């Protein structure tokens, strides 16, 4: 599903109008779709609904929604702010024909009638501005929104995780505070940046149209969205094919799942080599290896300093091992020669480097020799660089540009690592995550997985995917190792299938493996938070839920 800016959305609406899908038709579909979403989620029949109606098209959508809810048996009232209905306003006329009561904000002294109405309201519809915010909210609108926020002060806050395309939480008809439903966008949310006005009105549910907007997947605005529903208003998806920013959906991710034929063997599902771990970080290789196995790789091999092998082997049974010569448990540069030889002989499909590797002189020497000679492999595996491998690149005088690879590697930085790679600060990374990832992917000819809320996956050809997950359960040590292993497991399977089909497109293999692996990892985090509670999830809880994530995606 494409993710659009306001200008892109307006261009699509203009094209629809020119092709016969007129603006009034788009408005009718938007309002009816909003009403349907409300009726599906709330016991709205016979309940009191108050629609806040603004002056533009967003207000028109709200009028259609109000009329549709009235026809469905709800008790609806209108509260108008700066809306003067024109004689040809058919949506206003339809509401008046149904006897829907209304009040104008300009005639409501000290907002007394608004306060009284809010005390009786079960569902509040926000159709004030939508994408029409152009300046800070001031004056009467700011006062109006302050009163509405006060009426909701004791309401249950929406989940901190934006559960796009997922079932909403259970609703209680007895709750006294109004649920808020935003039409297209909560008032005060910048649709392009995610900036949130101080007077903004947060929603429990947002119904947006045709395509989600970038600001709905950027903080702080994302916290104001609640559950996000994307309603079809008749604009063909194909019209947005040239837009290179997407948000991942279950249907799209399901199409990437590797086939699991009944007559398969372990080689069918690929072989992943993981060069991870050090004396200080013996958990990282275990977390990564378990994830690669749980996501479906046929064979997972851990290569590590031979002194550490007994310690790590005691923690995991399924992986095989390639112990390498070490120096008192530390990596040695010449160990890279043995690893390259093993990759050459055994045709591994994915190589993950970096989880818990450490930043010792030996580890840096090992990384330098391995990465400088990686292109000598005749059929190189998909390369995933994580954690200390990224720190190694950041320390090079030219950063990641100092090394070039025949095939794009997958880099998995968190914001701090990305700041070091780009020689900047974390705030600069977080202020424009999409463009930062896109620019880095192009400069470094790499797949970038910029971790964090709404993880960004960018390819060097300009394509970018956002994940629709923001889950605090993943903000704990070791979850990055699980993510790296999950991507490696997906890469092994996709690479092996492409090798058998003799269609080795290295860029496509890496991009799709990164997208699928990151999505499955985030979905496993959603299951873990649901089962355990976000505050209690640890990294080891994720790998056992990867098969559950796979199964749910396959059954979606």
Angle between helices 283-294 and 479-500 (to 10 degrees): 40
Torsion, Cα 61 62 67 72, to 10 degrees, reads 100
pLDDT, position 556: 62
For domain 6-243, give the CATH number.
Answer: 3.40.50.10260
Same fold, 6-243 and 260-555: no
Pairing between β-strand 447-450 and β-strand 102-104 as defined by DSSP bridges: unpaired
Query: What phi-psi label fits residue 256: left (phi over 0), alpha (psi between -120 and 50 degrees) or beta?
Result: alpha
50-89 burial, b if ≥16 CB within 10 A, otherwise e?
bbbbbeebbbbbbbbbbbbbbeeebbbbbbbbebebeeeb
H or E segment and range at residue 494: helix 479-500
CA distance to 339, 426, 489, per residue, from 39 (Å)? 60, 42, 42
Nearest CA among 191, 207, 212 for reference residue 2: 212
Cα–Cα dist 102/80, whole Å: 7
472-506 burial, b if ≥16 CB within 10 A, otherwise e?
ebbebebbbbbbbbbbbbbbbbbbbbbbeeeeeeb
Domain ranges in the chain? 6-243, 260-555
CATH class of 260-555: alpha beta
Q: What residue ranges in 402-483 does DSSP mark as E strands?
A: 410-411, 447-450, 456-458, 464-466
102: cis peptide before it, omega within 30°? no
Residue with tokens 């938070």: 529
Residue 169, phi then psi, degrees to nearest 5: -70, 160
CA distance to 79, 153, 397, per residue, from 453 (Å)? 36, 26, 30
pLDDT in tens, the chain (556 residues): 999 999 999 999 999 999 999 999 999 999 999 999 999 999 888 999 999 999 999 999 999 999 999 999 999 999 999 998 888 899 999 999 999 999 999 999 999 999 999 999 999 999 999 988 878 999 999 999 999 999 887 444 333 333 333 333 334 444 457 899 999 999 999 999 999 999 999 999 999 999 999 999 999 999 999 999 999 999 999 999 999 999 999 999 999 999 999 999 999 999 999 999 999 999 999 999 999 999 999 999 999 999 999 999 999 999 999 999 999 889 999 999 999 999 998 889 999 999 999 999 999 999 999 999 999 999 899 999 999 999 999 999 999 999 999 999 999 999 999 999 999 999 999 999 999 999 999 999 999 999 999 999 999 999 999 999 999 999 999 999 999 999 999 999 999 999 999 888 999 999 999 999 999 999 999 999 999 999 999 999 999 999 999 999 987 6
Contact 441/447 with Cβ under 8 angstroms? Answer: yes
Counted residue by residue, the chain has a size of 556
Q: What is the 3-state secondary structure (H, E, C) of 165-202?
A: CCCCCCCCCCCCCCEEEEECCCCCECCCCCCECCCCCC
Residue 38 CB-density burial (10 A; 0-12 exposed, 13-18 middle, 19+ buried): buried
pLDDT, position 504: 86
Sequence-ordered list of residues with C-beta below 8 angstroms from that of 218, at least 6 positions apart, any chain: 193, 194, 433, 454
CA distance to 112, 295, 480, per residue, from 531 (Å)? 45, 19, 20
Give the pTM. Answer: 0.90
């Amino acid at each position: 599903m494409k993710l659009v800016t306001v200008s892109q959305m307006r261009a699509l609406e203009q094209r629809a109008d020119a092709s016969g899908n007129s603006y009034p038709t788009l408005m009718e579909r938007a309002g009816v779709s909003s009403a349907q979403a409300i009726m599906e989620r709330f016991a709205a029949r016979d309940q009191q609904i108050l629609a806040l109606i603004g002056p533009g098209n967003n207000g028109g959508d709200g009028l259609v929604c109000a009329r549709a809810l009235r026809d469905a048996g709800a008790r609806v009232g209108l509260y108008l702010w700066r809306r003067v209905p024109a004689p040809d306003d058919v949506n206003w006329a339809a509401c008046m024909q149904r006897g829907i009561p209304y009040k104008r904000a300009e005639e409501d002294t000290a907002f007394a009638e608004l306060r009284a109405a809010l005390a009786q309201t079960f569902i509040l519809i926000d159709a004030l501005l939508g994408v029409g915010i152009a300046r800070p909210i001031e004056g009467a609108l700011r006062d109006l929104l302050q009163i509405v926020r006060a009426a909701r002060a004791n309401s249950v806050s929406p989940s901190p995780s934006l559960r796009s395309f997922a079932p909403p939480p259970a609703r209680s008809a007895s709750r006294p505070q109004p649920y808020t439903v935003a039409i297209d966008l909560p008032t005060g949310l910048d649709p392009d940046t995610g900036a949130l006005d101080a007077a903004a009105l947060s929603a429990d549910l947002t119904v947006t149209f045709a395509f989600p907007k970038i600001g709905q997947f950027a903080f702080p605005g994302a916290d104001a969205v609640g559950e996000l529903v994307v309603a079809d208003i008749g604009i063909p998806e194909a019209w947005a094919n040239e837009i290179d920013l997407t948000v991942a959906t279950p249907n799209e991710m399901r199409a990437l799942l590797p086939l699991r034929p009944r007559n398969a063997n372990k080689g069918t599902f690929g072989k992943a080599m993981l060069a991870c771990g050090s004396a200080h970080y013996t958990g990282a290789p275990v977390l990564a290896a378990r994830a690669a196995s749980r996501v479906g790789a046929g064979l997972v091999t851990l290569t590590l300093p031979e002194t550490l092998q007994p310690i790590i082997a005691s923690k995991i049974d399924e992986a095989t091992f390639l112990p390498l010569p070490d120096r008192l448990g530390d990596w040695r540069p010449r160990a890279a020669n043995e690893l390259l030889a093993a990759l050459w002989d055994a045709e591994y499909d994915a190589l993950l480097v970096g989880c818990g590797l450490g930043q010792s002189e030996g580890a840096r020497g090992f990384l330098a020799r391995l990465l400088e000679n990686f292109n000598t492999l005749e059929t190189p595996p998909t390369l995933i660089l994580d954690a200390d491998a990224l720190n190694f690149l950041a320390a090079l005088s030219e950063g990641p540009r100092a090394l070039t690879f025949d095939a794009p590697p997958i880099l998995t930085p968190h914001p701090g690592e990305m700041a070091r790679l780009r020689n900047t600060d974390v705030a600069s990374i977080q202020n424009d995550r999409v463009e930062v990832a896109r620019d880095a992917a192009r400069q470094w000819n790499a797949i970038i997985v910029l971790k964090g809320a709404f993880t960004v996956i960018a390819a060097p050809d300009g394509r970018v995917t956002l994940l629709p997950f923001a889950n605090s359960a993943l903000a704990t040590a070791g979850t990055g190792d699980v993510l790296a292993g999950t991507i490696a497991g997906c890469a092994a399977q996709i690479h092996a299938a492409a090798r058998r089909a003799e269609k080795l497109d290295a860029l496509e293999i890496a991009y799709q493996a990164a997208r699928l692996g990151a999505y499955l990892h985030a979905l496993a985090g959603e299951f873990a938070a649901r089962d355990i509670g976000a505050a209690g999830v640890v990294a080891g809880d994720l790998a056992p839920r990867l098969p559950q994530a796979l199964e749910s995606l396959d059954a979606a």
